[in-house]
Chains A and B, each alone.
Chain A
């Protein structure tokens, strides 16, 4: 094994793919909450249901707008007709919940038995009068957060185009009136003038509403107007996407969505680092501004101020090392941010590395390493958890960011861990949320500082052997 060579350009490796991650169907858990009028139907087996039920914990009990279409032996052997079965279930969903869209999540089983969901959907859609979006978020092809990518890529097809000229006058006016009711004309034009003149920009990636507001305002300060988000709060409010629109991703795992927007909707992708950490947020805004020929205002000061406010946390991790086992594709951005905070990072495991979609982020990572004077991490695609654990024993990193399957066993062996999934569910985007990332990353260190005096770090009997 060649460890930590003093190389200054990124090296990529690929292991066996024997690693632990969540199944991509987990995306329903956050997407049904994000898209308020949706219903997610996961077409799969007990295995899928069991995973969702246990992984989502208490959310299950809150009358979620998702359910399993549990396949039985008759479905597998094609004794039952898929179309009739799906129709029966979807009608029941329509009756009970009346959603504005039903999202079918295809699973491993539907892949293997080759159930033609994409073919069935349009037929059923017109029969029951509810749009059906099909996403193949299965464990054969994807990992964890990539599930969202498959859903958003399908939704990108459903985004409306702007209305034709003749109809537009009447309708637009009506909508305008509605939107601007009660406000005087001057106010409206004044509001418009707060924005610079630039082609429409649509952002993609599902974020909690407070983060959406936050990033929207951040761009507004630069005079950049966001015409829409994919996804929006409601399916009925999906943004207009026309040929020539600009799009930009807010998360590193959205490469299919980006591809779909470029190829099928003829949009122009702004490839930027992702707005994670103050450095990432600034680079993200700067890139968008540069595409629109806008001179960004006050960003440097804004970033500096955020860093200043983070000093308390950074003190705890400066000079320490972090090891990403890899399971949610946020790893590159998080590592880049933590390196900027003064950490070193020997290894970044990642399920899948789209070097084109993440190009700006990868360049930024390399630049950050050089500026901070630390060796660049080795990037391990499709990692092998067993091998990684051997490397962890050898490297003894100060912090391992990993899935729950390994967290407790590593802690018992005296290795600090942070559960990676929390980064997916916490608010980590934009300037304001940088604190939350560090709150998460430093929690194990702070906890163990508190317990330091007790002298019980290794709590397994024999010398650790996995």
Chain B
């Protein structure tokens, strides 16, 4: 058992549902107790979805516990098949069905006999995989299923498209700024003269999956979702893939050069150098921004980055390489893919933190006292408590992270958006400090250092009042040093005397 207050990645079934509900006309049926269909609420609220989320539950209740699901799951599948006529129904196991150990595969087979559409059992074990891994697996599973089906029916297209073309793999519902990224990537492909063959899973129809091999290559913008599918397509159809996330000026260029290489290997004979140059210097503002006086002021400022692999790695590189910001710590909650992350960021930050314990991250932030944080909603709230500004760069996210305005993170417009995000985070911090120095005089509450709040030291009234007079941006440091001093000397209460003694001793 683990005591947990917060989790970064959701349970496995959420990943499966994200894939199923991204496709057009695919329905997911969860084998779950009442209340586990919370996914529908999230999709309806966060994405402000106009359509009913194509997810229903086959309810596991007391009767099911006693007698097994028996006909129930099969009936629910067949019923949904009749009502909605989906192309595919994905039976989705949950933590509950994982321990019930019913033969869901058998139910799927039986339902398949009566259903018009296809029926699949999502191959995800709740206790082995999290949301992101499950999404990756489910996408792979569905793609594989339809390609094999087409191969059996001999409907696989044999030819590549006439002009260079690409499949964009990994755009999904409830993904961080996925819709905007998708639009930006399509535009980028258009600018490069590359046709978009298919985008999966978002908005795709399962009938079109058989067309995937027609593309010249696959683009996988996110590390977490789509790699398994791209690898499968490479093995089966010799379809190369580009998995460099085009996020930030340097990485976007790297991604485009890789595309160039792949296309030229297939005889396209393209040269994108001129395009990269033009975009970098004159179209995107980010390169110019990093030369401007504004960005000069950010030089050497301390930042902490935390998020999923894709975004935390990309932002770390942007901060360190493109803006000259000092990334003290970069971290990810994708523990299962930690090696990749370390390899990506090691040269761009002082420390790497691999953890999914929000307390650990909160404590690290408190200890480091960065000028800005780039993290998830959780880090934003840590920042609130510690008075440190935070830019949100990765899921878990709230409704405000599903903007309706155009806000991609990928591509050249993405670089502009990120520059704004970074700059706004830091200026807000500076403004705050200037206010404090020049008569920002509302006596704020003292910063608590350490999220676990286990401080055993008492500040008496006078000392507390004195501490409040210390300007906000150094107050934390003074407090910490004083407490350290007191602890070493064995004082249990901090008085004015102790404070001054600490100041003299350690310059607190």
Contacts and interface: CB of A to CB of B under 8 A. Distances in A.
A24 B34 CA distance: 9
B7 A50 contact: yes
Interface residues of A, number: 65
A80 B2 CA distance: 12
Interface stretch (B8-16, B177-185, B252-260, B498-506): B8-16
A393 interface: no
Interface residues of B, number: 57
Nearest to A462: B51
A47 interface: yes
Interface string B27-70: 00000111111101110110011111100111111100100000
Nearest to B55: A405
A19 B56 CA distance: 9
Contact of B10 (A43, A46, A75, A412): A46
A68 to B, nearest CB: 4
Contacts of B32: 139
Contacts of B130: 46
B5 interface: yes
A47 B94 CA distance: 8
B99 A72 contact: no
A61 to B, nearest CB: 4
Interface string A28-71: 00000000000000010111011101110100110110011111
Interface stretch (A108-116, A264-272, A287-295): A108-116
B41 A403 contact: yes
Given A18-B57, A96-B452, A109-B96, A460 B51 contact: yes
Nearest to B44: A408
A140 B3 contact: no
Contacts of A76: 99, 127
B50 A72 contact: no
Contacts of A93: 3
B99 A67 contact: no
B100 A412 contact: no
Nearest to A85: B1
A429 to B, nearest CB: 25
A408 B49 contact: yes
A363 to B, nearest CB: 29
Nearest to B128: A73
Interface string B409-434: 00000000000000000000000000
B262 interface: no
B4 interface: yes
B41 A412 contact: no
A246 interface: no
A433 interface: no
B96 A86 contact: no
A304 interface: no
B50 A23 contact: no
Given A17-B59, A53-B7, A72-B127, A80 B1 contact: yes
Contacts of B84: 466
Interface string B359-395: 0000000000000000000100100100000000000
A23 B36 contact: yes
A13 B35 CA distance: 22
B44 A144 contact: no
A4 interface: no
B398 interface: yes
A139 B83 CA distance: 26
Contacts of B127: 72-73, 76
A22 B35 contact: yes
A138 interface: yes
A43 B50 CA distance: 35
Contacts of A138: 33
B126 interface: yes
B343 interface: no
B188 interface: no
12 contacts: A17-B61, A43-B1, A67-B4, A72-B127, A76-B99, A86-B1, A96-B452, A109-B95, A112-B65, A389-B52, A405-B44, A408-B50
Given A49-B7, A96-B453, 10 more contacts: A45-B126, A46-B95, A47-B94, A57-B398, A60-B6, A69-B3, A112-B65, A140-B65, A408-B45, A409-B53
Interface of A: 17-24, 43, 45-47, 49-51, 53-55, 57, 60-61, 63-64, 67-73, 75-76, 80, 85-86, 88-89, 92-93, 96, 108-109, 111-113, 138-144, 386, 389, 403-409, 412, 459-460, 466
Interface of B: 1-7, 10-11, 13-14, 32-38, 40-42, 44-45, 48-53, 56-62, 65, 76, 83-84, 94-96, 99-100, 126-128, 130, 378, 381, 384, 396, 398, 452-454
Closest 10 CB pairs of A and B: A23-B35, A139-B33, A405-B40, A412-B50, A61-B381, A46-B11, A45-B95, A85-B1, A139-B35, A73-B127
